[in-house]
Amino acid sequence: MSSAEVLAPDLAPDSRIFVAGHRGLVGSAVVRALEAQGYRNLLLRTHAELDLTDQLAVRRFFDEHRPHAVIMAAARVGGIHANNSRPAEFIRDNLLIQDNVIDSAHRSGVGKFVFLGSSCIYPKLAPQPIKEDYLLTGPLEPTNEWYAIAKIAGVKMCQAFRREYGFKAISLMPTNLYGPGDNFDLENSHVLPALVRKIHEAKINGAAEVVVWGTGTPRREFLHVDDLADAVVYLLQKYDAEPIVNIGWGEDVTIRELAELIVSVIDYSGRLIFDTSKPDGTPRKLLDVERLHGLGWRPKIALRPGVEQTYRWFRENSSGARL
Ligand SMILES: NC(=O)c1ccc[n+]([C@@H]2O[C@H](COP(=O)([O-])OP(=O)(O)OC[C@H]3O[C@@H](n4cnc5c(N)ncnc54)[C@H](OP(=O)(O)O)[C@@H]3O)[C@@H](O)[C@H]2O)c1
């Protein structure tokens, strides 16, 4: 199949597609996926070139460039510590970024808009696996409610603009992501990149053991970011409706299984110690992916090859990685 044949009927190879946040984990993977499918007119701006919290600058950008489609992968993102210590910045920046980009996209006639949320928008005690319908059925996890409330507002804004103005916005909710371009900072990163870095450093330093926080029993789901990007491009082309769509792998692993897999990939010969004095967090977090499967998309990159590829990237890019 030639690249032109896989393009959506209303998106041509030279359609202008704005990928907001193209230097982030998600945005950079979306750029790779779009380029691989033959889209050659991507609009990309760094944070320094276009601050998306600046309403006037965002309006000017949209008026000048008139994108056909927008992938919204820019957000102020961070771990529990950052969320907890800077709640005002998390709620303000994310509300401003979304409000500016969604409103300007609508005003300038964007034909398709993809909003990326997160699984943290669901209630803390949602039944597992988490269906899209569980949104707004219970209290949120208090540590990141600032971020989650902003993301929920983004989902609702997309739905409201669709209802009132016919704006073709869809909202996708990815599970925990990992892959090239991830944040490997020990303070602020997610569990998978943090374990990769800790275990890699233990191997280099000849340390006899690595301490993992908690009991190792909580279950988590992980999706390679290139799978997510493939889903984003697929749904950009094929999905146009109000309901939100979960994007996940569909199965979870325990933190112990994840840590053991990383030990094996890195070929570390020391021991794992589970520090049970540290909190475990919620026992399970798995997205229900029936809706996604019903739309005809499934992920391809299993956890082991995904971690192997991420570890190769980490070693080759340690100097440039967010450490
Ligand atoms: N990573 C995950 O596991 C995960 C899981 C589920 C959902 N998601 C969602 O995916 C989206 C992207 O996440 P990510 O992991 O790719 O985050 P990321 O790596 O931190 O990337 C976010 C990008 O947004 C940019 N940005 C932030 N504030 C901006 C501003 N005011 N103006 C312009 N650009 C700005 C950042 O640029 P600077 O770095 O220069 O500020 C960065 O390039 C988020 O909506 C997130 O909720 C991520």
Reading the chain (323 residues) residue by residue, the pLDDT tens digits are 333 333 445 799 999 999 999 999 999 999 999 999 999 999 999 999 999 999 999 999 999 999 999 999 999 998 777 778 899 999 999 999 999 999 999 999 999 999 999 999 999 999 999 999 999 999 999 888 999 999 999 999 999 999 999 999 999 999 999 999 998 987 777 899 999 999 999 999 999 999 999 999 999 999 999 999 999 999 999 999 999 999 999 999 999 999 999 999 999 999 999 999 988 888 899 999 999 999 999 999 999 999 999 999 999 997 656 66
Task: Identify the active-site residue in 39, 122, 134, 147.
Answer: 147
pLDDT given at position 9: 54
* Residue 183, helix vs strand vs coil: strand
Does the pTM exceed 0.85?
Answer: yes
**CB 208, CB 150: distance < 8 Å:** no
Contacts 24+ apart (CB under 8 A), 57-64: 58/100, 58/101, 58/104, 59/100, 59/104, 59/107, 61/104, 62/104, 62/105, 62/107, 62/108, 62/110, 63/104, 63/108
**Which atom of ligand 1 approaches the CA of 119 most closely?**
6
User: Residue 184 has which token pair?
Assistant: 């490997």
Helix boundaries (H) for 78-178: 80-85, 87-107, 145-165
CB half-sphere exposure, 135, CA atoms < 13 A: 21
Select from 19, 47, 56, 94 the residue to mutate for testing ligand 1; criterion: most ligand atoms less than 8 Å from CB: 47
Question: Phi and psi (nearest 5°) for 134?
Answer: -80, -5
User: Residue 158 has which token pair?
Assistant: 């997309």
**Which atom of ligand 1 approaches the CA of 120 most closely?**
6
Centre of ligand 1 from the C-alpha of residue 24, in Å: 5
Q: Is 11 in the pocket of ligand 1 (CB under 6 A)?
A: no
Q: Whose CA is nearest to atom 41 of ligand 1?
A: 47
pLDDT digits (tens, 9 = 90+) for 279-323: 888 889 999 999 999 999 999 999 999 999 999 999 999 765 666
Q: Which residue has the tokens 């401003």?
A: 96
Residue 174: closest CA among 245, 72, 96, 105: 245
Q: Is 147 a catalytic residue?
A: yes
Give the span between the Cα atoms of 185 and 192, in whole angstroms. 11
Angle at 13 between CA 236 and CA 168, to 5 degrees: 30
Q: Whose CA is nearest to atom 1 of ligand 1?
A: 177
Q: Which residue has the tokens 């094996």?
A: 264
**CB 137, CB 164: distance < 8 Å:** no
Q: Is 97 in the pocket of ligand 1 (CB under 6 A)?
A: yes
Contacts of 55 (CB under 8 A, 6+ apart): 96, 99, 100
Q: What is the DSSP letter of 218?
A: -
